[in-house]
Structure 1
Amino acid sequence: MSSNGAGMGHLTRLFSYARRLDGDARTYLLSMSQAVPVAARLGHPFEYLPSAKALGMPPGRWRGMFVDRVSETIRRVRPDVVVFDGTWPYQGVDEIREKNPDARWVWSRRGMWRAGLNTEQLAKAEWFDRVLEPGDLAAEYDAGATVGEPAHRVGPVTLLDVADLESREEARAALGLPQDGPLALVSLGAGNINDTSGDLGAAAAALAALGVGVCVTVPEIAATGGPAGGDVHLVRDYPLSRRYRAFDLVISASGYNSFHELLRLGVPTLFVPNTATSLDDQEGRARYAADHGWAHTLPALSVGEAQPLLADLLADGAAMAARAQAADPGNGAPEAARLLLDLATGETR
């Protein structure tokens, strides 16, 4: 079960665990994310539970619906283990557990919270049998409330590994991109490609000045079709990470999912952290990668500042990406799946 979230991180972590359980356990997804239908592409049955915000419903009224819907799903699916991925367990989880006492519950809780925030949520660990913490490559810079809290910690979790990547030629063909010439992927959310005062427009202008083709992601969670104007390639695919070899470099925010996919899979990257997140310390992640020579970062994009960093990535990005891969402890998803399977079968390790 995942919270709604502002991106694909919660769902992708759950898909990462489920992929490593294939053949050993059946999986079922219940999510408050409007992007949950992507579960069907990965072979997972799913259902959508609208959040209070999506329904325009006061949280107090929504809580009753949440308790009833989740309880009904548990009675129908009869899970041995319920895994909740999110940083804010919903009021009512404790009531659901009382009504349905047979399942074990796991809180999948990533770190890198902004310092001093969300501390009141930590007490909700008592609602769960285990807390599972997906690791963060930037954990040394983590100043959030989860540091030192009891948890079963695993390596950084990503859906795919290097062995899952398509070749450059296959990836470009699958995405309908030209086979010749350098291409960059820009994954920064909404914006106008022609407005160089914004991050998206500045990225496009800096790349064009370097002779690099511009590809812009259209996220699964997006409500619109893509950025306005410009001679760009729109890219919409999930999981897009399997086709990262199509691109010579990427300009991306530094949320958990993007950050670890790009670094673990060896993609030269310029990180532009999203500073508007309510809790995720994207600045800390991006700064850590830059301080270790794994990637470049800018707090915001301008053509003048971005162009030399992008030129450096074209020249030296492969070596930077290799340094990040050399520091990679490995994908934590298999170990997380083993923990879940042990709980489901009653084993302890």
Structure 2
Amino acid sequence: MAKIKRIVCYAVNGSGLGHVTRLMSVAKWLRRTVGVLERRPPEILFLTSSEATQVLLQAGFASFKLPSKTIVRQTGMDMLEYRRLARQFVWQTLGTFAPDLLVVDTFPSGSFDELLQLLDAPFQKGFIHRRVKPEYAQRPTFQAALGLYDSIVVPHASHGPHDAREAWCGEVLHIEREALMPAQQARAQLGVPPERTLVYVSAGGGGDPHSQAALASVVEALSGDPTLHLLVGAGPLYRGTRMGGQNLTWFTEPEVAPYMAACDAAISAGGYNTFHELLHLGVPSVFFAQAKVADDQAHRIQTAAQAGACLWLDDSALDPAALRTALSRALEARESLSANARAYVPQNGAARCARALLAQTYSAAQLAWAESVLTPTLALAFEAHGPEGQRTMAQWLPQLFPAVHIDSLESHPSFQALVASLPADAAQEVQRVLTATRDTQNSDAAARRLVTLLDESQALPGGISTLCALVENAMKKHPLANEPGAAWLIWLERLLTQLHGLLARCWEGWPQESVLQVYRTFPRLFDADLDTAFSTFVAMMDHSVATGLDFSGLLQKLRALKFTHKRITAQSLAALTGEEAT
């Protein structure tokens, strides 16, 4: 068996969330993409100094943690000794884990040049080149390290010419629009009255030393307005004083983004992740800049404000009057701000970044297939079932949407010669299958039906495992060979539709588990297409209920039929469906 792919995501810098959040967003798509291409999820390990590793645990990622430089300074540890220990830890971990791919965010040589000695190691190196202040990017070690990476992905939209080695992928976001909670549901969970204007307030993940003062300034300026309700995203790293009030919801969990559809406006610091997520989701926003070593928040905010995508509060003191005025302007211009914000950050670039990082490992055809299959909606539906759902997605999607194997075959140098040697009708059939698997419209229809079944499977005894067994059984029971002229994806969508209908039906006195067991025993009908076969099964169940035939009796009759008939047809089941000739 081939070795499981291994990936290390490296975010050793400060104690905050920014680098970890961006890497985690890309890592989710690395896990999804490698999973379906290898038919099993990769092993992904984070090396980080963030003090919020619980966010990685919640996302299903393992991590090894180093103390952050912030903690080292606070505890009085000798910085040179810390660097020596950290280098040894990093080198030993990478040498032992032996990844296939190392992904580094923002700092190409590491936080203190600890990666320079590793960038000639025998594994792929990918760098996420987030924009930093020019004086930082021009450092000799920064530029020298860039040349040692196999791939460089830029998490920004492309504006004009750029280095040919760089893949500009668009802003990387932690939230997919498909994961947003409906506004009414979000307000109910947050306890926000429908008549209140909901304003999201943030100063980042909470690790900034000035976050408490910033949050206090905004809350003090706005909490006296009875028409407002403040959703204060303090962040998981916040260690300051908790704030409260009748019109305030305090939130320290990292997953606040799903509530954004309920927000009427936002006042936030201009850090990369929160900034781009708010714009992508179309929340009318007022931003203020925090001072950072490498991140130029003021430039980021000013550029978007000039495009009409947000408002820039150029006031580091966060004056109460200025805050109230800025919020009032944002609410008055909410429609134009929302539209411009969505246009400014139209897409989530995380999946594109992941594919660019994998371009050295997989062919363009394989990655294109993965892109076509792995929609955010479908991935989220599988992942709602936890690690089992991730494994199922990796094993199952290549079976349901097998174009990757056909594309790989078609790109083989001997393929055209082989097709030319076939009889004309056989060659035509090969081309029909190739064309059918690329039918995007039918692929979307099948994927939508699969999402519905995944959602419904949470109510099944056995959950997603039961659904998998059911679909695999149905594919064998109603093969494409029984569908003259049908393309794979059309057949698959019809199959999933029929299964959806089967799960929705109820027969009096028959628990769903018993119905599914009968279906698993139900034979393949050699003379029936899948619609006819399902109709025959329903007729059999209706007749069993009408005649009082119980579960054991029906199973016994089906098993006897399979034992006495080599090829079972719809007519063979006439006695069980009530259609036996009189």
TM-score, normalised on structure 2? 0.52
Q: Does 1:239 align with 2:255?
A: yes
Farther off after superposition, 265-274 or 288-297: 288-297
Deviations 1:244-279 (A, max 9, x none): 1232111001111111101011111011111x2122
2:233–2:256 Cα contact (<8 Å) kept: no
Corresponding residue pairs, total? 333
Query: Does the 8 A contact of 1:36 with 1:46 survive in 2?
Result: yes
Question: In the superposition, relative to structure 1, how do residues 6 and 149 fare at CA in structure 2: closer, same or farther (>3 Å)?
Answer: farther
> Cα gap change, 1:72/1:345 in structure 2, threshold over 3 Å: closer, same or farther?
farther
SS of 2:24's equivalent in the other structure is helix
Checking the alignment, whether the CA contact within 8 Å between 1:218 and 1:225 is kept in structure 2 is: no
The residue type equivalent to 1:342 in the other structure is: A
Tell me whether 1:13 sits opposite 2:28 in the alignment. no
Distance 2:118 2:357 in 1: 20
Aligned pair 1:126/2:147, yes or no? yes
Q: Show the counterpart of 2:302.
A: 287
Aligned partner of 2:118: which letter? I
Q: How does 1:115-264 map to 2 (within 5 A)?
A: 115-120=134-139, 121-135=142-156, 151-178=166-193, 180-188=195-203, 190-191=211-212, 200-202=216-218, 204-206=220-222, 208-209=224-225, 211-224=227-240, 226-227=242-243, 232-264=248-280
8 Å CA contact retained: 1:109, 1:133 = yes
Q: Which position in structure 2 is the counterpart of 1:143?
A: none
Matched with 2:347 is 330
Match of 2:11 among 2, 20, 27: 2
SS of equivalent to 2:174: coil
Partner residue, 2:68: 51
* 1:199–1:236 distance in 2 versus 1, CA, 3 Å: closer
Q: Is the 8 A contact 2:199 2:228 kept in 1?
A: yes
- Choose between structure 1 and 2: higher helix proportion: 2
> Is the 1:67–1:95 Cα contact (8 Å) retained in structure 2?
no
Distance of 2:146 and 2:85 partners within structure 1: 22
Q: Secondary structure at the match of 1:191?
A: helix
Q: What SS does the aligned partner of 1:343 have?
A: coil
SS class of match (1:284): helix
Of the three residues 99, 111, 124, the one matched with 1:104 is 124
CA 1:103/1:174 → structure 2, altered by over 3 Å: closer, same or farther? Answer: farther
The 1-side partners of 2:157 and 2:241 are apart by 32
Displacement of 1:345 in angstroms is 4.6
Shifted more, 338-347 versus 232-241: the winner is: 338-347
2:99 matched to which residue of 1? 79
2-structure distance, mates of 1:267, 1:37? 27
Whole-Å Cα distance in 1 between the matches of residues 263 and 169 of structure 2? 29
What is the TM-score with the length of structure 1 in the denominator?
A: 0.84
AA aligned to 1:245 is A
Equivalent position amino acid for 2:177 in 1: V
Question: Could you list the runs of 5+ residues in structure 1 that have no partner in the other structure?
Answer: 141-146, 193-197
Contact 2:201 2:231 in 1 (8 A): yes
- Residues 1:114 and 2:133 are matched in the alignment: yes
Q: Give the aligned partner of residue 395 of structure 2.
A: none
For the pair 1:22 / 2:31, whether they are aligned, the reply is yes
User: Which deviations, in whole Å up to 9, do the C-alpha atoms of 1:66-87 show, x marking residues without a partner?
Assistant: 2322233224433210111133
CA contact (8 A) 2:309 2:344 kept: no
Q: C-alpha distance in 2, partners of 1:80/1:258?
A: 31
Larger radius of gyration: 2
* In 2, Cα distance between equivalents of 1:171 and 1:81: 38
Greater relative contact order: 1 or 2 (C-alpha under 8 angstroms, separation 6 or more)?
Answer: 1
Deviation at 1:19, TM superposition (A): 1.5
SS in structure 1 at match of 2:136: coil
Task: Pick closer, same or farther for the CA change 1:199–1:8 going to 2, 3 Å.
Answer: closer
Structure 1 residue identity aligned to 2:138: T
Looking at structure 1, the residues matched to 51 and 346 of structure 2 have their Cα atoms a distance apart, in angstroms, of: 32
RMSD value, Cα: 2.9
